[in-house]
Structure 1
Amino acid sequence: MLAVIAALSASAAMAVASTASRTTAGYPARCLLSGQTIAINTKIARLIAPVTTVRLAHARRVHPALAPTRFVFPLLGHYAVPSNFGSGRAGLDWHHGDDLFASRGTPVVAVTSGVVFSVGWQNLGGHRLWLRDAQGNEFYYAHLARYATAAHNGAIVRAGQVLGYVGTSGDAEHTPPHLHFEVHPKPLLRLGYDGAVDPTTYLARWQQIDMPTLPAKPSPAPTCGP
């Protein structure tokens, strides 16, 4: 009997781990196990479902201090930021970031200096990428229309450098163009994708960089009469 209980416990633990990997996959490919199929005993599933639901339903509204370095707003130009972090999403647990609505093609920039990684396509995030700063904090960008030249794996970028352009790729194809943006502080990375925190307060503090302006065209030279 004890052996059966032990085996059941082990199976439950494996099921929890597998379910967490699948359920918290969200946008980043780094958390997605490609081609994975999960078969779980229905009795075990009923036991673990409340546990995973409680954990995933908790949206973190804490704001760990990031390093005293330069941070800038992730968009250039005009934008609208509805604070929808933590809101429920049909079939996708809770919203792990804020959506920054702007015109299609609006430049998206690095919020701080760091290393770009996980650049590429993901079914939910579309054209997406991650940025890691020198302190280990990570920032997630999704639904880009396309990438800038600087956006490739291993690229070292500076704050304000263009990484891509606002779009509707991935599961945002039926929404207005926007950037989905997330903040993952280093102390919470151990929690995986659920270590995301509310970016709204950070965004309100970060400096907005103005769009570059083209030099004015010179006025035509005056013409002299005969």
Structure 2
Amino acid sequence: MAALLRTLFVAVFLVLAYGLLEPYIERALYTMRLAAMPKPQALPVPVEGVRPRALRDTWGGARSEGRKHEGIDIFARRGTPVVSSTEGIVTRVGTNRLGGLVVWVLGPGGQRHYYAHLDGYSDVEPGMRIEAGRVLGYVGDTGNAKGTPPHLHYGVYDTGGAINPYPLLKADPALIAAPAPATAPAEAAPGPAPRSAAR
């Protein structure tokens, strides 16, 4: 009888433990899958309605404090939706001195995608799994962009540091990979996006 109770206790414990750990296990497996995917050879423009021909290569331009521009600026009307250029995992939603309101997404090949100067966020949260095209926020001028025309600062970071996203955004759209089949249900699509910056 004691052995049966002990076996039953262990079985119940394992079921409960798996239920608690399942989201973390799924996220870890998806993160490994992302890392194993090839790095994109082309990316869609992450601002709704902006065509690749409208982009200007602002990579490497001189910035304050002796910095070089580690991304490109994509100009659009304030409040224009900013969308994820890849599938991935939202790793950070927050603020910093230069970027203002920012969102980071871990994408295929382990590349990190940085969306800055946002006017507000959509309903994304750290740890959320997203598909390419998911609204992350809205074009603005927060951070050190105050007083400039509204724009998205878009950066891509690889293991060796920042890389120029301009050639990826200007590449042949046929090179943009179709989304891989999901191994877990995708997050529900958001309703109307709030424009609040309270994070």
- TM bin, normalised by shorter chain, reads 0.5 to 0.7
Identify unmatched segments of 5+ residues in structure 1: 1-65, 189-194, 208-226
1:99 to 73, 80, 84: 73
Relative distance call for 1:175 and 1:111 in structure 2 (3 A) is same
Matched residues in 2 for 1:87 and 1:134: separation?
A: 27
Tell me the SS of whatever aligns to 2:169. helix
Code of the aligned partner of 2:55? V
Query: Does the CA contact (< 8 Å) of 2:122 and 2:137 recur in 1?
Result: yes
Paired residues in the alignment total: 136
Relative distance call for 1:107 and 1:206 in structure 2 (3 A) is farther
1:159 to 132, 148, 154: 132
Matched residues in 1 for 2:62 and 2:78: separation?
A: 26
Tell me the SS of whatever aligns to 2:154. strand
1:148 to 96, 105, 122: 122
Instruction: Provide TM-score, normalisation by structure 2.
Output: 0.63
Relative distance call for 1:68 and 1:130 in structure 2 (3 A) is closer
- Describe the superposition over 1:147-205 as per-residue Cα deviations: whole angstroms up to 9, x where unpaired: 001x21111100011111000011111100000001112x41xxxxxx10111100112
Relative distance call for 1:205 and 1:70 in structure 2 (3 A) is closer
Code of the aligned partner of 2:48? L
Match of 2:8 in 1: none
Match of 2:47 in 1: 75
Match of 1:12 in 2: none
Query: Does the CA contact (< 8 Å) of 1:107 and 1:166 recur in 2?
Result: yes
Relative distance call for 1:132 and 1:206 in structure 2 (3 A) is farther
2:143 to 145, 165, 170: 170
Q: CA deviation at 1:78?
A: 3.4
Code of the aligned partner of 1:159? A
Identify unmatched segments of 5+ residues in structure 2: 1-37, 174-199
CA root-mean-square deviation: 2.3
Match of 1:24 in 2: none
Query: Does the CA contact (< 8 Å) of 2:86 and 2:133 recur in 1?
Result: yes
Which aligned runs of 4 or more in structure 1 are off by greater than 3 angstroms? Answer: 68-71
Relative distance call for 1:81 and 1:68 in structure 2 (3 A) is closer
Instruction: Provide TM-score, normalisation by structure 1.
Output: 0.55
Query: Does the CA contact (< 8 Å) of 2:90 and 2:105 recur in 1?
Result: yes
Match of 2:193 in 1: none
Code of the aligned partner of 1:128? V
Tell me the SS of whatever aligns to 1:135. helix
Matched residues in 2 for 1:129 and 1:153: separation?
A: 9
2:155 to 174, 182, 198: 182
Larger radius of gyration: 1
1:121 to 95, 120, 125: 95
